[in-house]
Amino acid sequence: MRDFIFENKTKVYFGKDQLHHLHEEISRFGNKVLLVYGGGSIKKIGLYDKVIAQLKEAGAEVFELAGVEPNPRHTTVNKGATICKKEDIDVLLAVGGGSTIDAAKGIAAAAKYDGDDVWDLVTGKGHVTERLPIITVLTIAATGSEMDRGCVISNMETNEKSGFFGESPAVSFLDPTNTFSVSAYQTASGSADIMSHIFDVAYFSKGGCMDMLTRVQEEVLKTVVKYAPIAVKTPDDYEARANLMWAASWALNDFLYDGYFQATVCHAMEHELSAFYDITHGHGLAILTPRWLTYVLDEENAPIIKRFGVNVMGVDESLPLMDGAKAAIDALSAFFFDTLSLKSRLSDLGIDESNFEIMAKKACAPEGVLYGFTNLTPKDVEAIYRMCL
């Protein structure tokens, strides 16, 4: 069992009647606010107006950065940082999903960085020393960025998607009703992202976790398996949306793990797909995960894969070890591709093998290997990509 440090400073307001606290929280940090959001869906659902009303009540001076992309670009982050520096912004208010929040995290750090390109902070050319505080209003259950320290940013000039760690948001507002309008496709993709965080960070790893935490991870996974199909079918089911929303915040949260110790293998492989083809992150993870598990399945890995099948997917415990593990992978595939109706192949997304070699190499950079459940070389990663075609 590993030693670990747990600390999470994010204050969470959870529920359907909490946004009226936003003006108080804004006021704690200052008067000048940069409102960061995406393509305008927050206007369609009326959330923009509610947020603006709270900002007025706080007496805030508001600047806006709209149009954050689904895989947020470093150029957009730089734009935000320029506004912060010029206008002496006190606090960032990110209203949206993981991409918007990740962009805000990039801006928060870049705003306090002497250089003028956030990509320096990704590559290590520059270092994060200080950052602006962030408040989030979440609109999709998926990335866990609302309580997590990390951010991932895309550089479309170099086809790179990478990130850095900072602080988790100071305050996050999680209102399940703000996810009622999330499409069936994005709900399914987000659900795959939630599950993948648990798989990738610790559940499918060499060391596993403290027994209690492994059991808790299984309950969070079961929560997704139970409620994602309900949310897909009945988008305004509060119970389903609430459970998915809190599951997402738990899935990438230090309190679910006893420390991190492996590369997040599927995430590393998926980041290359998003960087080259700008696909939906969670969908890429759904396609990759069953193939990855099939590729690494051996006598040593089979017990935890079978256990996942039995405890989470309802696989028959009496099956022999390898059969049970295969049944677990089949059940996961059926969940993603039949129950949640996600397309199962990269070719369905217009991706062919032309970039697999370079993507595999980049996924394994800088050490040339992805350490974890089973260590993967670029050759292994390329083989997994091919299995997804």
Q: Which residues bind its own copies (CB under 8 A)?
A: 1-18, 210-213, 215-216, 218-220, 222-223, 226-227, 238-239, 242-243, 246-247, 250, 255, 258
Q: What is the greatest pairwise CA distance in the chain?
A: 65
Name the residue nearer to its own copies (CB basis): 215 or 379.
215
The strand pairing partners of 37, in sequence order, are 95
Distances (CA, A) of 101 to 148, 359, 368: 10, 26, 30
Name the residue nearer to its own copies (CB basis): 242 or 332.
242
Q: How far is the CB of 370 from its own copies (least distance, A)?
A: 26
Q: How far is the CB of 12 from its own copies (least distance, A)?
A: 4
Look at residues 280, 142, 294, 141 and name the one whose alpha carbon lies nearest to residue 204: 294
Name the residue nearer to its own copies (CB basis): 5 or 350.
5
Q: How far is the CB of 118 from its own copies (least distance, A)?
A: 28
Name the residue nearer to its own copies (CB basis): 177 or 339.
177
Name the residue nearer to its own copies (CB basis): 61 or 239.
239
Cα–Cα distance measured from residue 371 to residue 321, given in angstroms and rounded to the nearest whole number: 24
CA 180 to chain centre: 19
Q: How far is the CB of 210 from its own copies (least distance, A)?
A: 6
Q: Which two tokens stand for residue 159?
A: 């086809």
Q: Which residue has the tokens 């997402």?
A: 248
What is the end-to-end Cα distance of the chain in Å, rounded? 38
Sequence-distant (6+) residues with CB within 8 A of 27 are 58, 59
Q: How far is the CB of 286 from its own copies (least distance, A)?
A: 21
Q: How far is the CB of 1 from its own copies (least distance, A)?
A: 6
Name the residue nearer to its own copies (CB basis): 7 or 299.
7
